[in-house]
A = this chain, B = another copy of it.
Amino acid sequence: MVFDKDNPVSNLSNGNKTERDLQGEGGGGGPRSFVYDNPILSLSNDSLKNRHSADFQGSRDFILINENYSSDSKWKSCMPWLKQKIANKCTKKTLYKRLPILTWLPKYDRQCAIGDLLAGITVGLMVIPQALAYSGIAGVPTQYGLYGSFLGCIVYIFFGGCKDVPMGPTAIASLLTYQAVRGVSTEHALLLCFLTGVVQVLMGIFGLGFLVDFISGPVSSGFTSAVALIILTSQVRDILGVTASGSVFTEMWGNIFRNIHETNAWDTVLGICCIAVLLIMRIIGQLKIGSNKGGVEETKLQLFANKFLWLFSTARNAIVVIVCGFIGYSFQQNGDSPFQLIGAVPSGLPNFQLPPFGFTQSVNGTEIYYSFLDMVSDLGTGIIVTPLISLLETIAICKAFANGKAVDATQELLAIGLANVANSFVQAFPGGGALARSAVNNASGVRTPLGGLYTGLLVILALLYFTPYFQYIPKSSLAAIIIAAVIFMVEVKVVKPMWRSKKSDLFLGLATFIACLVLPLEIGILVGIGLNLLFILYHAARPKISVEKLTSHEGTEYLILTPDRCLIFPSTDYVRNLVTKHSIRQGIPVVIDCSHIYGADFTAATVVESLTKDFAARDQPLLFYNLKPSVSAVFEGVSPQDFVVFYNQDQLDELLRKKQPEKPTNDLV
């Protein structure tokens, strides 16, 4: 029995009939139209008539939307819908969406050119030492970092949707590469780059960018912090000049302490000095000479000085590398250098060739052939985790600089995917957008993705003309650069707001952090994501139900139970047991307030059916209040016998009067 507007107490004992009516119930077209009492109406009853446009989003069974959700018409409209979908994919709009360069290039002017040139060169000065250093993290020869820093930038210009993303090697992607390759061979890293790109492009084509949504803030923070600590550890090794293998955090520290006696004092002193210098230079960049706090305008000199300090701070990596390179060079000239140097870096651009789909490696004199499948099985889950995490990093950058605009995850996937594929043809390892470089890019006044062109050109210049000088750079200075960068990746500052906001999220973040430290990185983040999904499942399984005793207008007491979310299978028995317990204890009519129930499934429907049956057997009235039509349709699908829905107080009074004949109602009215 379902009440409607025109006929408040119409008894439709035929469940099937009612269900049809319910399903066909639409925008007032049919003879029966429901008055679903939307709680929002209590906000502005007066403006109810003023409601005009009813735009909507999301799936079709949301309560506030008047539309016809007959299943027949849905099936029939499937084919035209598909055609429409395909047509939509081939419009000019889609072309502009997929090739963002078409949008900004026609509007390109002198202002943009200057901004991009300055930003591109600044980022270039930053990326060259970083590229050298990240090769070490990834466990490949030094030049491969540079190989990954020019073509990708240029490809990103065409497809990238975010002007601030400087495509290139990143700390996280380098570490993931190292963990996936496990030092087997450089060829594995190159193939991983190709596969990362392919997986990203495929994810873009199939619209799987939403997978990033399943990595929550706390998990991402825990992961990033763990990555920072792992990278830091791997660099401490270089600063001390000890040999220590291992890819898991605990294992690495164990090996470092075991070999601590090998410490090279020269390397250690240089490394620590470099870190100190870098941190001081970083602080200098944040200083402001002649602060304009007092409302006084900056003088031209102050402006220039501030600009200079900022540039000096931003180029700190390059400066430190050049200075240390000179130190290394002068020691080398005067005999043997006491530092570990990075050694000879091959000069010139890499060959443009296919990534290795199979290769032969000679180990201890025997030739081992690795087929494509061997390599893929060696890389394992890295093939999925590396693209996803690179995407996560890139999307995080886009969001940070989007100024509230929506970020198109699909487009970013395509852009960094294609950039990685291109990079794999010039012997690079996987990369993405790096947060530190993008901050510099943004601060340098980049206007369009074209800034990447200048970065790329600078890297090409370096490869062509500067590589002979790179060999004198001490390893510990590169390690210092990395350490001075990654210590700011340990997200200590989110702990406090997380604790204040939601303690369980802090626990999750910590759990992810620890899992990433003690397990291989990709397993660690999967553990974090898994735990997080368990929270969602628990949410679905244990709705909150409030129980209150109310009195109707006519003085009849009734129990009102209000579940606060959808009724789906993991929660149905819990809800049934609660409802049964309270109903039997009180023995008065029971109303279930369904205002918050936004969805239900077949399991819930069977439980509602058995509840109505139990209540009928006990002769206790069970009424459903404010059930939205789409959920009602689900419940009616199993044709429950004594299923009564009402939508306002008058209907309730009438129902309670009818259902309790033993109470003389005339006493009360």
The residue of chain B having its C-beta at the shortest distance from the C-beta of A409 within the complex is B573
Q: Is B47 touching A210 in the complex (CB atoms < 8 A)?
A: no
Contact check: which of B404, B544, B601, B625 meets A580 at CB < 8 Å? B404
Q: In whole angstroms, what is the CA distance A648 to B39 when docked?
A: 12
Interface residues of A in 618-669 (CB under 8 A from B): 618, 625-626, 633-639, 648-649, 652
Tell me whether A52 is interfacial, beta carbon within 8 Å. Answer: yes
Nearest CB in chain B to that of A54: its residue: B548
**8 Å CB contact of A603 from B218, B600, B618, B649:** B218
Q: Which residue of B lies closest to A220 (CB)?
A: B603
A345 within 8 A of B: no
Measured CB to CB, the closest approach of chain B to A327, in angstroms, equals: 44
A536–B544 touching, CB < 8 Å: no
> Looking across the interface, which residue of chain B has its beta carbon closest to that of A497?
B638
Contact B497 A64 (CB under 8 A): no
Interface presence of A63 (CB below 8 A): yes
Residues of B within 8 A of A403 (CB): 614, 617
Residues from chain B with a CB closer than 8 A to the CB of A577 are: 406-407
CA distance A592 to B661 in the complex (A): 45
Q: Take A71-B503, A405-B580, A569-B213 as given contacts and tell me if A540 and B540 are in contact as well, using a CB distance cutoff of 8 Å.
A: yes
Contact (Cβ within 8 A) A498 B637 = yes
Q: Could you say which of A173-181, A232-240, A367-375, A604-612 contacts chain B?
A: A604-612
The reply to whether B47 and A550 form a contact with Cβ atoms under 8 Å apart is yes
Q: Tell me the residues in window 483-507 of chain A with beta carbons closer than 8 Å to chain B beta carbons.
A: 497-506
- The yes or no answer to A366 lying at the interface (CB within 8 A) is no
Q: Which residues of B contact A63 (CB under 8 A)?
A: 546, 564
Answer whether residue A4 sits at the interface, using C-beta atoms and an 8 A cutoff.
Answer: no
CA distance A610 to B473 in the complex (A): 42
> Cβ of A602 and Cβ of B217 under 8 Å apart?
yes
- Decide if A213 touches B573 in the complex (CB within 8 Å): yes
Q: Is the CB of B546 within 8 A of A64?
A: yes
Query: Measured between C-beta atoms, what is the minimum distance from A131 to chain B in Å?
Result: 31
B505 near A601 with CB under 8 A, answer yes
Counting CB contacts under 8 A, is A56 at the interface?
yes
By a CB distance below 8 angstroms, the chain B residues around A635 are 501
User: Counting CB contacts under 8 A, is A214 at the interface?
Assistant: yes
Distance from A102 Cβ to chain B, minimum over Cβ atoms (Å): 21
CB-nearest residue of chain B relative to A602? B505
Query: Is A61 at the interface (CB under 8 A from chain B)?
Result: yes
- Whether A541 pairs with B593 at a CB distance below 8 angstroms is no
B543 engages A58 (CB within 8 Å): yes
Q: Decide if A533 is an interface residue (CB 8 Å cutoff).
A: yes
Instruction: Give bound CA distance, A573 to B617, whole Å.
Output: 48
Tell me the bound Cα distance from A346 to B545 in angstroms.
57
Q: Is B593 within 8 A of A43, CB to CB? A: yes
CB of B614 within 8 A of CB of A404, answer yes
* A571 close to B (CB within 8 Å): yes
Q: For the complex, is A51 an interface residue (Cβ under 8 Å from B)?
A: yes
- With the chains together, A57 CA to B547 CA distance in Å? 7
Cβ contact within 8 Å between B39 and A610: no
A98 sits at the interface (CB 8 A): no
B residues in contact with A546, CB < 8 Å: 54, 56-58, 62-65
Closest residue of chain B to A500 (Cβ to Cβ) is B637
Given A213-B570, A216-B569, A637-B502: A545 and B58 interface contact (C-beta under 8 Å): yes
Complex-state Cα separation, A117 to B97, whole angstroms: 78
Instruction: Select A214's contact among B42, B569, B601, beta carbons within 8 Å.
Output: B569
In the bound complex, what is the Cα–Cα distance between A533 and B633 (angstroms)?
A: 22
Q: Which residues of B contact A362 (CB under 8 A)?
A: none
CB pair A564 B42 closer than 8 Å: no
A582 within 8 A of B: yes
Tell me which residues from 367 to 420 in chain A have a Cβ below 8 Å from any Cβ of chain B: 399, 403-407
Whether the Cβ atoms of A59 and B638 lie closer than 8 Å is no
Known: A57-B544, A58-B544, A542-B59. A549 touches B497 (CB 8 A): no
Contacting pair A569 B601 (CB below 8 A): no
Partner of A570, one of B214, B504, B560: B214
A532 within 8 A of B: yes
Inside 8 A of A504's CB, which chain B residues have their CB?
601
Binary per-residue interface labels of chain A (2-16) against chain B in the complex, 1 for a CB within 8 Å, 0 otherwise:
000000000000000
Contacts of A639 in B (CB 8 A): 497
Chain B residues near A41 (CB-CB < 8 A): 42
Contact with B along A132-166 (1 / 0, CB 8 A): 00000000000000000000000000000000000
A595 at the binding interface (Cβ < 8 Å): yes
> What are 9 of the A-B contact pairs (CB < 8 Å)?
A44-B552, A44-B649, A63-B546, A213-B569, A218-B601, A404-B618, A502-B637, A505-B602, A564-B598
| 8 other A-B residue contacts (CB within 8 Å) besides A501-B633, A502-B605, A502-B634 | A59-B542, A214-B569, A217-B606, A403-B617, A502-B602, A505-B603, A535-B568, A539-B566
Chain A interface (Cβ within 8 Å of chain B)?
19, 37, 39-44, 46-47, 50-59, 61-65, 71, 210, 213-218, 399, 403-407, 497-506, 532-533, 535-537, 539-553, 560, 562, 564-566, 568-574, 576-578, 580-582, 584, 593, 595-596, 598-603, 605-606, 610-611, 613-615, 617-618, 625-626, 633-639, 648-649, 652
